[in-house]
């Protein structure tokens, strides 16, 4: 290899290393792009329906998003903290005490060889109580990690507003990074990415609304407290396929233990049925209409992005997959693989012509006899 080729290779390796080191920042930037795309779509709808200016439409979209975000934290976070403290300090020890009494009563009905296999709830209580008491001592660590999350969230929101204010300028700056002969093609790919992301956001919001409504109906039928907050949380966690529904059922079941234990089982059954309906009927139909993503591809993408990028990669797995699908289909398949044709030499072409003009020339003797017999029978 020449010196220039070695320098180019080293520059490529160095660039990949730098991108890997700043991967979390790149994910936050991508999250800002997705959010800016969704808000830009909302701003366009407000602008066209109400016949407002671009500035007023953008401000209205940002105002709606801010109201939803603030309302979510006011509606869910304080009640959840109160319920969690009551669960850990009051209800959970009472449940363990009742379970211990049940274990004592059932011993008289079991054979003696089976008694040692019963769970030792007192030992479980001794192991859990120090953990519950240490939760208060870890408040500083929780605050520091929450502070980092808040700073990243503020950075994403500020970047979203900047992208939303001047989307054309940032788009032109990104297109300028590519060679001049390919810039028009990149502009078309970006337009397709914007369209696909908009469709995916619309489908995801519709799916979340349906899950939230069904969860609200189920929780209200059981008389669970904070039904609206928990239903909204279930809808938001549905944003994360496969794992989000599992996370959404934990809090309602824990709060149901404050009322009656059987309601926790009923909540599990209701959420299971809702998620079966959502995963087998609702989401496949919506995503087939909006974005064609195979379920196996979705699961593989979640595992891949979670492995390399952590929780933020899990959260952004689907939009990353949507964008990656557009780029792979446009650049790799259409521009490279579909244009990659085999050029035959003169010898290959003559052999190919011979095969086409005389397809029966080099057949085995047995095949020729069978074909002759078939021809005689047809005559």
Mind listing the pLDDT tens digit for each residue in 223-277? 887 777 778 888 888 877 666 777 778 778 877 776 677 888 888 898 888 888 8
> Rounded to an integer, what distance in angstroms lies between the CA atom of residue 286 and that of residue 97?
47
Per-residue pLDDT of the chain (379 residues; tens, 9 = 90+): 577 778 878 888 888 888 888 888 888 899 888 888 888 888 888 888 888 888 888 888 888 888 887 877 777 667 766 766 666 666 666 666 666 666 666 666 666 666 666 655 555 555 555 555 554 444 444 444 556 777 888 888 889 888 888 888 889 999 998 888 889 999 999 999 888 888 888 888 888 888 889 988 988 888 887 777 778 888 888 877 666 777 778 778 877 776 677 888 888 898 888 888 877 777 666 666 556 677 677 778 878 888 888 878 878 888 888 888 889 989 888 888 888 876 655 555 555 444 444 444 444 444 444 444 444 444 4
* CB-CB contact of 43 with 60 (8 Å): yes
379: in domain: no
- Burial (CB count <10 Å: 0-12, 13-18, 19+), residue 315: buried
* CB-CB contact of 232 with 75 (8 Å): yes
122: in domain: no
* Residue located via tokens 């959970």: 92
pTM comes to 0.66
79: in domain: yes
349: in domain: no
> Rounded to an integer, what distance in angstroms lies between the CA atom of residue 32 and that of residue 38?
10
5: in domain: no
For the chain, give the mean pLDDT.
75
Domain hosting 187: range is: 22-100+152-339
DSSP string, 280-315: IIIHHHHHHHH----HHHHHHHHHHHHHHHTHHHHH
76-91 pLDDT, tens digit each = 667 766 766 666 666 6
Residue 278 phi, psi (nearest 5):
-70, -45
> Rounded to an integer, what distance in angstroms lies between the CA atom of residue 379 and that of residue 377?
5
> Rounded to an integer, what distance in angstroms lies between the CA atom of residue 248 and that of residue 264?
13
> Rounded to an integer, what distance in angstroms lies between the CA atom of residue 327 and that of residue 80?
41
> Rounded to an integer, what distance in angstroms lies between the CA atom of residue 273 and that of residue 266?
11
310: in domain: yes
Residue 140 has a pLDDT of 40
CA atoms within 13 A on the CB side of 63: 7
* CB-CB contact of 12 with 4 (8 Å): no
User: What does the block give as tokens for 323?
Assistant: 């964008």
201: in domain: yes
Counted domains in the chain: 1
Indicate the DSSP class of residue 364: -
25-52 pLDDT, tens digit each = 888 899 888 888 888 888 888 888 888 8
Distances (CA, A) of 332 to 75, 131, 335, 346, 359: 46, 52, 6, 30, 36
* Residue located via tokens 């059981």: 222
Residue 187 has a pLDDT of 92
Distances (CA, A) of 110 to 107, 181, 223: 5, 82, 36
SS3 at position 242: coil
Residue 276 has a pLDDT of 81
**Residues 90, 91, 94, CA angle at the centre, nearest 5°?**
95
């Amino acid at each position: 290899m020449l010196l220039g080729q070695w320098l180019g290779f080293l520059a490529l390796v160095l660039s990949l290393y730098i991108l890997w080191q700043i991967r979390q920042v790149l994910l936050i930037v991508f999250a800002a792009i997705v959010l800016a795309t969704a808000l830009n779509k909302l701003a366009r709808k407000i602008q066209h329906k109400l016949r407002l200016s671009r500035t007023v439409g953008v401000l209205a979209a940002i105002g709606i998003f801010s109201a939803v975000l603030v309302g979510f934290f006011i509606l869910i976070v304080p009640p959840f903290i109160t319920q969690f403290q009551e669960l850990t300090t009051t209800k959970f020890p009472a449940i363990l005490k009742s379970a211990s009494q049940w274990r004592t009563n059932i011993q008289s009905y079991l054979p003696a060889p089976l008694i040692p296999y019963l769970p030792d709830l007192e030992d479980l209580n001794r192991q859990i109580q120090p953990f519950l008491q240490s939760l208060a001592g870890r408040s500083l660590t929780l605050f520091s990690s929450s502070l980092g999350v808040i700073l990243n969230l503020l950075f994403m929101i500020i970047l979203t507003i900047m992208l939303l204010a001047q989307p054309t300028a940032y788009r032109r700056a990104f297109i300028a990074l590519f060679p001049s002969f390919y810039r028009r093609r990149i502009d078309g790919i970006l337009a397709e990415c914007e369209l696909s992301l908009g469709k995916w956001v619309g489908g995801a919001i519709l799916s979340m609304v349906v899950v939230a409504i069904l969860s609200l109906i189920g929780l209200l039928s059981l008389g669970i407290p904070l039904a609206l907050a928990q239903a909204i949380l279930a809808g938001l966690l549905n944003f994360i396929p496969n794992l989000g529904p599992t996370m959404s059922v934990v809090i309602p079941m824990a709060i149901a233990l404050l009322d009656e234990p059987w309601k926790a089982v009923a909540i599990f059954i209701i959420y299971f049925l809702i998620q079966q309906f959502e995963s087998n009927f609702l989401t496949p139909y919506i995503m087939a209409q909006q974005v064609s993503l195979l379920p196996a591809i979705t699961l593989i993408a979640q595992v891949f992005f979670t492995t390399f990028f952590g929780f933020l990669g899990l959260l952004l797995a689907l939009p990353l997959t949507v964008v990656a699908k557009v780029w792979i289909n446009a650049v790799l398949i259409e521009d490279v693989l579909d244009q990659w044709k085999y050029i035959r030499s003169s010898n290959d072409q003559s052999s190919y012509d011979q095969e086409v003009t005389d397809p029966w020339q080099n057949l085995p003797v047995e095949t020729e006899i069978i074909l002759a017999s078939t021809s005689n029978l047809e005559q």
